[in-house]
Amino acid sequence: MRIITGIYKGRHFEIPRTFKARPTTDFAKENIFNVLNGYVDFDGATALDLFSGTGGISLELLSRGCASVISVEADRDHHAFIKQCLKKLGTDKCIPLRTDAFRFIKNCRQQFDFIFADPPYALPELPTIPSLILKQNMLKPGGIFVFEHGKHNSFEDIPGFIAHRAYGSVNFSLFRQADEQAAAEQA
Protein backbone atom coordinates (compact mmCIF):
# COMPACT_ATOMS: atom_id res chain seq x y z
CA MET A 1 0.00 0.00 0.00
CA ARG A 2 1.40 3.36 -1.04
CA ILE A 3 0.55 6.97 -0.17
CA ILE A 4 0.05 8.82 -3.45
CA THR A 5 0.77 12.45 -2.56
CA GLY A 6 1.18 15.00 0.22
CA ILE A 7 3.52 15.12 3.18
CA TYR A 8 3.83 11.32 3.35
CA LYS A 9 4.07 10.84 -0.41
CA GLY A 10 5.74 7.59 -1.43
CA ARG A 11 5.53 5.90 1.98
CA HIS A 12 4.88 2.16 1.62
CA PHE A 13 3.22 -0.20 4.06
CA GLU A 14 3.30 -3.96 3.58
CA ILE A 15 -0.15 -5.47 4.03
CA PRO A 16 -0.10 -8.93 5.60
CA ARG A 17 -1.07 -11.64 3.13
CA THR A 18 -3.64 -13.00 5.58
CA PHE A 19 -5.81 -9.86 5.30
CA LYS A 20 -9.27 -10.18 3.76
CA ALA A 21 -9.48 -6.48 2.89
CA ARG A 22 -9.04 -5.39 -0.70
CA PRO A 23 -7.45 -1.94 -0.58
CA THR A 24 -8.55 0.61 -3.14
CA THR A 25 -6.06 0.25 -6.00
CA ASP A 26 -3.44 2.97 -6.42
CA PHE A 27 -4.87 3.65 -9.90
CA ALA A 28 -8.43 4.16 -8.60
CA LYS A 29 -7.25 6.07 -5.52
CA GLU A 30 -5.12 8.47 -7.54
CA ASN A 31 -7.90 9.11 -10.04
CA ILE A 32 -10.65 9.69 -7.48
CA PHE A 33 -8.45 12.06 -5.50
CA ASN A 34 -7.70 13.98 -8.72
CA VAL A 35 -11.46 14.38 -9.17
CA LEU A 36 -11.91 15.34 -5.52
CA ASN A 37 -9.41 18.18 -5.81
CA GLY A 38 -12.18 20.09 -7.61
CA TYR A 39 -14.62 19.51 -4.75
CA VAL A 40 -12.69 19.41 -1.47
CA ASP A 41 -9.93 21.42 0.16
CA PHE A 42 -8.36 18.75 2.34
CA ASP A 43 -6.05 21.19 4.11
CA GLY A 44 -7.49 21.51 7.62
CA ALA A 45 -10.55 19.38 6.83
CA THR A 46 -12.23 16.91 9.16
CA ALA A 47 -12.69 13.48 7.60
CA LEU A 48 -14.27 10.10 8.26
CA ASP A 49 -13.10 6.84 6.70
CA LEU A 50 -15.76 4.13 7.14
CA PHE A 51 -14.95 0.46 6.54
CA SER A 52 -11.28 1.51 6.64
CA GLY A 53 -9.84 -1.91 5.85
CA THR A 54 -6.09 -1.37 5.69
CA GLY A 55 -6.37 2.36 6.38
CA GLY A 56 -5.01 3.45 3.00
CA ILE A 57 -7.62 6.18 2.56
CA SER A 58 -7.12 7.46 6.12
CA LEU A 59 -3.37 7.71 5.51
CA GLU A 60 -3.93 9.47 2.19
CA LEU A 61 -6.27 11.98 3.87
CA LEU A 62 -3.68 12.71 6.56
CA SER A 63 -0.96 13.11 3.95
CA ARG A 64 -3.13 15.63 2.08
CA GLY A 65 -3.45 17.84 5.16
CA CYS A 66 -6.63 16.84 6.97
CA ALA A 67 -6.68 18.25 10.49
CA SER A 68 -8.37 15.14 11.83
CA VAL A 69 -9.49 11.76 10.54
CA ILE A 70 -11.65 9.14 12.21
CA SER A 71 -10.93 5.67 10.85
CA VAL A 72 -13.67 3.10 11.52
CA GLU A 73 -12.83 -0.60 11.10
CA ALA A 74 -14.47 -3.58 12.82
CA ASP A 75 -11.82 -6.24 12.10
CA ARG A 76 -9.34 -6.58 14.98
CA ASP A 77 -6.28 -7.31 12.81
CA HIS A 78 -7.04 -4.54 10.32
CA HIS A 79 -7.59 -2.07 13.16
CA ALA A 80 -4.23 -3.06 14.69
CA PHE A 81 -2.55 -2.61 11.28
CA ILE A 82 -4.00 0.91 10.95
CA LYS A 83 -2.69 1.79 14.42
CA GLN A 84 0.73 0.40 13.45
CA CYS A 85 0.81 2.54 10.28
CA LEU A 86 -0.15 5.66 12.23
CA LYS A 87 2.60 4.97 14.74
CA LYS A 88 5.14 4.65 11.89
CA LEU A 89 4.01 8.04 10.56
CA GLY A 90 4.22 9.54 14.04
CA THR A 91 0.87 11.29 13.78
CA ASP A 92 -1.90 11.73 16.31
CA LYS A 93 -4.34 13.35 13.86
CA CYS A 94 -6.18 10.09 13.25
CA ILE A 95 -8.44 8.29 15.69
CA PRO A 96 -8.69 4.61 14.71
CA LEU A 97 -11.90 3.14 16.10
CA ARG A 98 -12.57 -0.58 16.24
CA THR A 99 -16.32 -0.71 15.87
CA ASP A 100 -19.09 -1.63 13.47
CA ALA A 101 -19.60 1.08 10.83
CA PHE A 102 -23.40 0.89 11.08
CA ARG A 103 -23.26 1.34 14.86
CA PHE A 104 -20.93 4.31 14.35
CA ILE A 105 -23.30 5.89 11.79
CA LYS A 106 -26.30 5.40 14.07
CA ASN A 107 -24.59 7.03 17.06
CA CYS A 108 -22.55 9.71 15.26
CA ARG A 109 -23.27 13.29 16.32
CA GLN A 110 -20.27 14.82 14.58
CA GLN A 111 -20.21 16.45 11.15
CA PHE A 112 -17.37 16.09 8.67
CA ASP A 113 -16.07 18.00 5.66
CA PHE A 114 -15.37 14.69 3.91
CA ILE A 115 -16.56 11.11 4.30
CA PHE A 116 -15.24 8.07 2.45
CA ALA A 117 -16.92 4.66 2.72
CA ASP A 118 -15.60 1.46 1.16
CA PRO A 119 -17.74 -1.42 2.43
CA PRO A 120 -17.31 -4.99 1.21
CA TYR A 121 -19.03 -5.12 -2.18
CA ALA A 122 -21.01 -8.22 -1.15
CA LEU A 123 -22.36 -6.61 2.02
CA PRO A 124 -26.16 -7.07 1.95
CA GLU A 125 -26.74 -3.60 3.50
CA LEU A 126 -24.47 -1.86 0.96
CA PRO A 127 -27.34 -0.17 -0.97
CA THR A 128 -28.60 1.51 2.22
CA ILE A 129 -25.34 3.20 3.22
CA PRO A 130 -25.55 6.47 1.21
CA SER A 131 -29.05 7.23 2.49
CA LEU A 132 -28.06 6.36 6.08
CA ILE A 133 -25.11 8.74 6.01
CA LEU A 134 -26.98 11.59 4.36
CA LYS A 135 -30.06 11.25 6.61
CA GLN A 136 -27.86 11.13 9.71
CA ASN A 137 -26.61 14.63 8.78
CA MET A 138 -22.96 13.58 9.10
CA LEU A 139 -21.70 16.03 6.47
CA LYS A 140 -21.16 19.72 7.04
CA PRO A 141 -22.98 22.00 4.57
CA GLY A 142 -21.13 21.63 1.26
CA GLY A 143 -19.38 18.49 2.54
CA ILE A 144 -18.53 15.63 0.16
CA PHE A 145 -19.23 11.93 0.61
CA VAL A 146 -17.51 9.35 -1.61
CA PHE A 147 -18.97 5.86 -1.72
CA GLU A 148 -16.94 3.03 -3.26
CA HIS A 149 -19.01 0.16 -4.64
CA GLY A 150 -19.23 -2.49 -7.34
CA LYS A 151 -20.48 -1.95 -10.86
CA HIS A 152 -23.94 -3.41 -10.19
CA ASN A 153 -25.06 -0.55 -7.97
CA SER A 154 -26.42 2.84 -9.00
CA PHE A 155 -27.08 5.68 -6.58
CA GLU A 156 -28.01 8.43 -9.05
CA ASP A 157 -31.56 8.73 -7.64
CA ILE A 158 -30.42 9.57 -4.11
CA PRO A 159 -30.71 13.28 -3.22
CA GLY A 160 -27.27 14.85 -3.05
CA PHE A 161 -25.79 12.64 -5.80
CA ILE A 162 -23.38 14.68 -7.95
CA ALA A 163 -21.18 12.28 -9.93
CA HIS A 164 -20.20 8.71 -10.72
CA ARG A 165 -16.70 7.60 -11.66
CA ALA A 166 -15.49 4.14 -12.65
CA TYR A 167 -11.88 2.97 -12.77
CA GLY A 168 -11.76 -0.64 -13.87
CA SER A 169 -14.00 -2.61 -11.52
CA VAL A 170 -13.94 0.14 -8.89
CA ASN A 171 -16.90 2.53 -8.88
CA PHE A 172 -17.32 5.72 -6.89
CA SER A 173 -20.51 7.66 -6.31
CA LEU A 174 -20.07 11.22 -5.03
CA PHE A 175 -22.60 13.11 -2.95
CA ARG A 176 -22.68 16.68 -1.64
CA GLN A 177 -24.51 17.87 1.44
CA ALA A 178 -26.74 20.76 0.50
CA ASP A 179 -25.45 24.12 1.65
CA GLU A 180 -27.93 25.38 4.26
CA GLN A 181 -28.20 28.84 2.66
CA ALA A 182 -28.78 27.39 -0.83
CA ALA A 183 -31.37 24.97 0.57
CA ALA A 184 -33.18 27.84 2.33
CA GLU A 185 -33.22 29.89 -0.87
CA GLN A 186 -34.74 27.00 -2.82
CA ALA A 187 -37.51 26.43 -0.24
What own/partner pairs with CB < 8 Å and gap ≥ 24 does 37-45 have? 39/144, 39/162, 39/174, 39/176, 40/113, 40/114, 40/144, 42/66, 42/114, 45/112, 45/113, 45/114
Q: What is the pLDDT of residues 103-135, one digit of tens each?
A: 999 999 999 999 999 999 999 999 999 999 999
pLDDT of 180 reads: 52
pLDDT over 90 percentage in the chain: 81
Please determine, for residue 33, whether its predicted confidence score (pLDDT) is greater than 90: yes
Q: What is the pLDDT of residues 36-68, one digit of tens each?
A: 999 999 999 999 999 999 999 999 999 999 999
